[in-house]
Amino acid sequence: MTRAFTVIDVPQRSAEWFQARAGRLTGSVASDMLAEIKSGEAAGRRNLRTRLVVERLVGAPQEDSFMSPAMQWGIDHEADAFAAYESVTGHLARSTGFLSHTGLMVGCSLDGHVGDFDVIVSLKCPTPTTHLGYLKSGGMPAAYVPQMLHELWVTGAKEYHFLSFDPRWPDDLRVFFTSVTRDDAAIAAYEAKAKTFLSEVDTEVANVRKLRQG
pLDDT at 118 over 60: yes
**Confidence bin at 70 (pLDDT 50/70/90):** confident
pLDDT at 30 over 60: yes
Buried (b) or exposed (e) across 198-211, using 16+ Cβ within 10 A? bebbeebbeeeeee
Q: List the domain boundaries for the chain.
A: 5-213
How much of the chain exceeds pLDDT 90, in percent? 89
Q: 164: which strand partners?
A: 124, 176
Q: In whole angstroms, what is the distance from residue 170 CA to residue 175 CA? A: 10
Model-level pTM? Answer: 0.95
Which phi and psi (to 5°) does residue 67 adopt?
Answer: -115, 110
The average confidence (pLDDT) of the chain is 95
Sign of CA dihedral 77, 83, 85, 88: negative
pLDDT of residue 68: 83
pLDDT at 103 over 90: yes
pLDDT of residue 1: 53
Which helix (H) or strand (E) covers residue 178, if one does? strand 175-181
pLDDT of residue 67: 75
pLDDT of residue 3: 83
143 close to 135: Cβ distance less than 8 angstroms: no
Q: CATH number of the domain at 5-213, out of 2.60.120.260, 3.40.50.800, 3.90.320.10, 3.75.10.10?
A: 3.90.320.10
